[in-house]
Amino acid sequence: MAQSSRFTEADYYQEHFDSRAYVNSFYGRPEGHDDEKNYLTCILGCLSKTFLSGRYRGRRLIEVGSGPTLHTVISACEYFEEIVLSDYTDRNREEVEKWLRNEDGCFDWKPIFEYFCAKDGSSSSDLEVKLRQRVKQVLKCNVLAENPFHPECVEPADCVITSLCLEAACKDHQSYRDAVGRVANLLRPGGALVMIGVLGETFYSVNKTRFSCLSLSKANIEDVLRNLDVTVQEFNIFPAEDRENNKVSDFEAFFFLVALKSTKAI
């Protein structure tokens, strides 16, 4: 298995990350990758429950570190007029843009759309059209930079989502703390932060190439959030199943949290 002897930082992703292999392996069906058992189904369920509640809505939603994926914004697109996706790696953004243009050979997200539509009886094809209409930008993003979208300046959002990005981009706890702060700063007062991530993970692999991950605990994340101007609404932890047979990652648990930014002036 190919791997870097050091933490796999942004340039390593740019050179080695296989976007199509990643979505094929982990997002080809709602059940996700066989080795990761209930991870994807559980996350899809959390996203569906969160956005179908109608509590979180507004004009603009930003996803920080979308990778080559769409699953985190499918159920949200009914509730936000404008969606901004972003990633550091060129091939990841290209993979998303191919789907947005409905090009021949783009990745088939229909099974994931159908999963969400089964929850409320809506049409998956209508939802695909709506998401294509509502994604307004796919931006270059570096969560380690003071302005992650430099040279773009993005207006504050009503909701910001980040999923499996920060622990893969940050090699130590201080850089993670700083990155979470930058993500929270993208929110308008009263906006919702949705974070999805893994606990205790040190690596994951795509097409036999290994990528590093910063090992986090629930206490690490709670400490970071405690020092931000947010109030946690829910913080759910889901232990990994059958860890000894998981060859593609070593996460101990995954988490789904929602926090609201204060409406008070600082």
Per-residue confidence (pLDDT) for residue 121, from 0 to 100 = 84
22 among annotated binding-site residues: yes
Structural domain includes residue 266? no
CA distances, 116 to each of 48, 121, 192, 234 (Å): 7, 9, 21, 21
Q: Which of 206, 221, 213, 211 is nearest to 255 (CA)?
A: 221
What pLDDT shows up at residue 5?
A: 62
CB 190 within 8 A of CB 261: yes
The alpha carbon dihedral of 49, 29, 69, 105 has a sign of negative
Decide if pLDDT at 1 tops 80. no
**Is residue 166 in some structural domain?**
yes
Beta carbons of 141 and 86 less than 8 angstroms apart: yes
Looking only at the bridges linking them, the beta strands covering 58-64 and 2-3 are: unpaired
Question: On the CB side of 154, how many CA atoms lie within 13 Å of its CA?
Answer: 32
Q: How many domains does the chain have?
A: 1
Look at strands 157-163 and 209-212 and give their pairing.
unpaired
Q: What percent of the chain has pLDDT over 70?
A: 97
**What is the residue range of 155's domain?**
2-261
Does residue 83 sit within a domain? yes
How much of the chain exceeds pLDDT 90, in percent? 92
Can you give the pLDDT at residue 265? Answer: 46
CA distance 252 to 256: 14
Task: Retrieve residue 27's tokens.
Answer: 């997002």
- pLDDT for position 122: 85
pLDDT, tens digit, 9 for 90 and up, residues 124-134: 999 999 999 99
Binding residue per annotation — 87?
Answer: yes
pLDDT at 111: 96
Q: What is the pLDDT of residues 132-179, one digit of tens each?
A: 999 999 999 999 999 999 999 999 999 999 999 999 999 999 999 999
Q: What are 46-104's pLDDT values in tens digits?
A: 999 999 999 999 999 999 999 999 999 999 999 999 999 999 999 999 999 999 999 99
| CATH code of residue 189 | 3.40.50.150
- Structure confidence by residue, pLDDT tens digits, 2-16: 555 689 999 999 999
pLDDT, position 119: 81
pLDDT, residue 242, reads 83
38 annotated ligand binder? no
What number is the average pLDDT over the span 98-122? 94
> Is 18 annotated for ligand binding?
no
| Structural domain includes residue 78 | yes
Q: What's the sign of the alpha-carbon dihedral 68, 72, 74, 77?
A: negative
**Who's near 120: CB < 8 A, 6+ residues apart?**
52
pTM, two decimal places? 0.95
Q: Which residue has the higher pLDDT, 265 or 107?
A: 107
Q: What's the pLDDT tens digit per position in 158-171?
A: 999 999 999 999 99
